[in-house]
């Protein structure tokens, strides 16, 4: 992508109405554009990052048998009334009437409609287990939407739902998902702690995936030896004795909840008629679990963890482009040639070909946008048939021969 053609421009000043690091840097870099508090749009650079995060999630969830679907955000009042959540969740769910007076809602999660879907296809033990997931926006009436992508009123979620005949089968799958969640988080370069939390309907605890960060809204107590933690909301003598943990060995930290998985048991299947017949012909409710991870919150978290005073430092796996190529001294012909060669060999390049920007402005934008590798083509480097290469997370630049550039990058 040529910077001269890019839809967005970087901003020198921090947005006045944002406090969080992720909102400031992502806005200044042109990754996101604000609609209102808690509602952001993704511009080309931002969408590129989000898509990379989503594709890592897809690869990992597909590998454990998840099948991708795409559900409606629009919700039917009747179905939510059957589980009593229309009233229970009226604080968080946007609910409204159409002009005939009929009630509708916007999905803040999708347990009800997915259970209805499953009841159309699952009738026998032979149909189980199954796992389906989607990546789509959720809406929540969040009273404190002030941390950029960390807490939106409209935000993206990957939600996976699994359906089982037996508790053992569910327990097995649940552990697989927990393992895969840790791997997803490792791949996007945030290290997470699996954390005991509230909200497991058919288990004592749910599991959260918490990333240590001061901006986080959660307080957790970490057992560093086991790399596990307990959320403050369930932290008491009972949980300590359940886990056989000693208070003295735990460290209190602030953290961001990026994922949360729940054993739902038969709460939804019983209310919505999702049953199967077992080997003996007996009718039983299907046992369910749900698993959420927030790609948008994760993107904000990555920025909170990976930045310096000049901008973002994207991990390579999610960077909008691998290379930020800068041409100086009007050497655009030479720059264009390198840009084309890199693109042809499959390297993702953001090319600063702008003729009306100074070297200083171009370097500042490269640091702000945060691609992992900066390559500069200038009169000085061309005298040595070279370009200058510098990693975003290192201080020193080095020269590399243009003839060896592709080899170096594809290594």
How far is 332 from 195, CA to CA, in rounded Å?
A: 52
Q: For 378, phi and psi rounded to 5 degrees?
A: -145, 175
Residues 174-213 as x/- pattern, contact with ligand ATP by CB under 6 A = ----------------------------------------
Instruction: Give the other-Cβ count within 10 Å of 37's Cβ.
Output: 15
CB of 37 to ligand ATP, least distance (A): 12
Q: Which does 200 bind (CB under 5 to 8 A by kind): ligand ATP, Mg ion, none?
A: none
Footprint of Mg ion on residues 251-280 (CB under 5 A)? Answer: 260
Distance from C-alpha of 139 to C-alpha of 106, rounded to nearest angstrom: 6
Query: Which CB, 105 or 292, lies closer to ligand ATP?
Result: 292
Distance of CA 39 to the CA centre of its chain: 16
155 binds, among Mg ion, ligand ATP, none (CB under 5 to 8 A by kind): ligand ATP
* DSSP code per residue over 285-338: EPEEEEEEE-HHHHHHHHHHHSEETTEE---TTT-S-SEEEEE-TT-HHHHHHH
370 makes contact with ligand ATP (CB under 6 A): no
**Ramachandran angles phi, psi of 369, nearest 5°:** -70, -35
Contact partner, 296, from Mg ion, ligand ATP, none, Cβ < 5-8 Å per class: ligand ATP
Strands 323-327 and 349-352: parallel
Strand runs (DSSP E) across 7-153, as ranges? Answer: 32-36, 39-42, 67-68, 74-76, 95-97, 103-106, 130-139
Q: Looking only at residues 82 through 111 of this chain, which bind ligand ATP when binding is defined by CB under 6 A?
A: 109
Return the one option of ligand ATP, Mg ion, none that residue 152 interacts with (CB less than 5 to 8 A, by type).
ligand ATP
Do residues 397 and 388 lie in contact, with contact meaning Cβ atoms separated by under 8 Å?
Answer: yes
Rounded CA-CA distance 271/260 in Å is: 23
Among positions 126-165, residues that touch ligand ATP (CB under 6 A) are 140, 142, 151-152, 155, 157
Q: Which residue's C-beta sits nearest to ligand ATP?
A: 294
Binding mask 213-252 for Mg ion (x = CB under 5 A): ----------------------------------------
Closer residue to ligand ATP in complex, CB, 75/109: 109
Beta pairing partners, 192: 211
Stretch 272-301 residues interacting with ligand ATP (CB under 6 A): 292-294, 296-297
Q: Binding residues for Mg ion, per CB under 5 A?
A: 260
Judged by the rule CB under 6 A, the positions of this chain that interact with ligand ATP are: 109, 140, 142, 151-152, 155, 157, 257-260, 292-294, 296-297
């Amino acid at each position: 992508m040529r910077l001269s053609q890019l839809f967005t421009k970087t901003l020198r000043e921090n947005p006045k109405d944002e406090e969080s690091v992720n909102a400031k840097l992502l806005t200044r870099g042109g990754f996101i554009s604000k609609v209102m508090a808690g509602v952001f749009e993704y511009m080309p650079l931002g969408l590129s990052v989000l898509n990379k995060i989503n594709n890592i999630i897809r690869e990992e969830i597909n590998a454990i048998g998840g099948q991708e679907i795409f559900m409606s955000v629009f919700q039917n009042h009747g179905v939510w009334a059957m589980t009593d959540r229309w009233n229970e969740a009226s604080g968080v769910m946007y609910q409204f009437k159409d002009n005939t007076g009929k009630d509708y809602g916007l999905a803040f999660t999708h347990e009800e409609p997915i259970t209805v879907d499953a009841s159309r296809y699952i009738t026998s033990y032979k149909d189980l287990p199954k796992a389906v997931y989607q990546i789509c926006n959720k809406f929540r009436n969040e009273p404190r939407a002030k941390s950029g992508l960390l807490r939106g009123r409209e935000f993206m979620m990957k939600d996976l739902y699994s359906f089982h005949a037996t508790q053992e089968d569910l327990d097995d799958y649940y552990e697989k998902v927990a393992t895969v969640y840790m791997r997803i988080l490792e791949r996007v370069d945030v290290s997470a702690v699996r954390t005991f939390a509230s909200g497991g309907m058919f288990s004592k605890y749910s599991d959260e995936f918490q990333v240590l960060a001061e901006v986080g809204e959660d307080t957790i107590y970490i057992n560093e030896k086991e790399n596990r933690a307990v959320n403050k909301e369930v932290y008491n003598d009972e949980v300590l004795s359940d886990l056989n943990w000693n208070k003295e060995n735990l460290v209190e930290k602030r953290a961001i909840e990026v994922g949360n998985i729940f054993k739902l048991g038969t709460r939804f299947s019983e209310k919505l008629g999702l049953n199967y017949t077992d080997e003996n012909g007996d009718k039983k409710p299907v046992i369910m679990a749900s698993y959420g991870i927030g790609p948008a919150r994760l993107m904000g978290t990555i920025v909170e963890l990976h930045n310096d005073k000049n901008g973002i430092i994207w991990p390579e796996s999610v960077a909008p482009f691998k290379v930020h190529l800068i041409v100086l001294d009007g050497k655009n012909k030479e720059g264009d040639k390198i840009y084309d060669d890199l693109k042809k060999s499959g390297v993702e390049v953001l090319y600063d070909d702008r003729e009306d920007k100074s070297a200083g402005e171009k370097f500042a934008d490269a640091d702000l946008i945060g691609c992992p590798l900066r390559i500069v083509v200038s009169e000085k480097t061309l005298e040595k048939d070279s370009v200058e290469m510098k990693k975003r997370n290192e201080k020193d630049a080095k020269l590399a021969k243009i003839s060896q550039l592709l080899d170096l990058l594809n290594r």
